[in-house]
Chain A
Amino acid sequence: MDSLGKARQLGQRLASGGEGEIFALRGRADVIVKWYYPEVLEKRGELLHRKVEAMRELRDSQTTQDVCWPLIRVFDHQHRWIGFAMYRAQGVKMGCLAHTLLYARHFPNLDRRQIVGYLLRYIEIVQQLHRAGICIGDYNLNNVFCVPRSDSVTLIDCDSYQLRVGGTFYPCPVGSPDMTPKEHQGKAFRDIVRTPRSEAFSLAIVLFKCLMLGRHPYDIVGGGDPVRNLRRGNFAYGRGQRSVPQGDWYALWQALPNEVQEHFITTFIDGADNPGQRTTLSQWHEALTAYREQLESGECRRELIVASGKVGGRAQSVR
Chain B
Amino acid sequence: MATYRLNRDSDLIDNPSPRCACMLVLDTSASMFGEPMRELNAGVQSFIAAIQEDDMAACSVELGVITAGGHVTEQLPFTTAMNISQCRQFTASGMTPLGEAMELALDRLDARTAAYRQAGVAYYQPWLVVISDGVPTDAWERVAARSRALAQQRKTVVIPVGVEEADLEALSAFSSRPAKRLDGLKFREFFQWLSASMSRVSASASTTEQVRLPPTDSWDSI
Contact = CB atoms under 8 A, between A and B. Distances in A.
Interface of A: 16, 18, 95-96, 99-102, 105-106, 139-142, 176-179, 212-216, 219-223, 225-227, 236, 243-247, 310-311, 314, 318-319
Given A141-B205, A176-B209, A226 B122 contact: yes
B21 interface: no
Nearest to B9: A246
Contact of B205 (A96, A140, A222, A225): A140
Contacts of B15: 100-101
Given A213-B16, A227-B207, A219 B122 contact: yes
Which among B55, B205, B209, B212 has the greatest number of chain A C-beta atoms within 10 A? B205
B206 A310 contact: no
Contacts of A221: 117-120
A99 B118 CA distance: 20
**Residues of A contacting B: mostly:** loop
B14 A99 contact: no
A105 to B, nearest CB: 8
Interface string B193-216: 000000010011111110110100
A247 B14 contact: yes
A221 B12 CA distance: 12
A107 B187 CA distance: 37
A177 B206 contact: yes
Nearest to A209: B16
A100 B16 contact: yes
Nearest to B196: A16
A318 B208 CA distance: 29
B13 A246 contact: yes
A250 to B, nearest CB: 11
Contacts, number: 89
Which among A16, A176, A215 has the greatest number of chain B C-beta atoms within 10 A? A176
A246 B119 contact: yes
A16 B122 CA distance: 25
A235 B15 CA distance: 19
Given A177-B208, A220-B120, A247 B203 contact: no
Q: What band does the interface of chain B fall in when counting residues whose beta carbon is under 8 Å from A?
A: 20 to 34
Given A95-B56, A219-B122, A176 B206 contact: yes
Contacts of B82: 101, 318-319
A101 B13 CA distance: 11
7 contacts: A99-B16, A100-B16, A176-B205, A178-B208, A219-B16, A219-B120, A223-B117
A96 B17 CA distance: 11
Contact of A177 (B59, B123, B200, B209): B209
Sorted nearest first, the 9 A-B pairs with minimum C-beta distance are: A245-B120, A176-B206, A214-B16, A247-B13, A221-B120, A176-B205, A140-B205, A18-B212, A215-B16
Contacts of A177: 206, 208-209
Contact of A226 (B17, B200, B207, B209): B207
A219 B14 contact: no
A99 B55 CA distance: 10
A243 B120 CA distance: 8
B121 interface: yes
Nearest to A314: B14
B205 A99 contact: no
Contacts of A16: 214
A255 to B, nearest CB: 16
Contacts of A219: 16, 120-122
B120 A214 contact: no
B59 A99 contact: yes
A209 B206 CA distance: 14
B203 A142 contact: yes
A214 B17 CA distance: 7
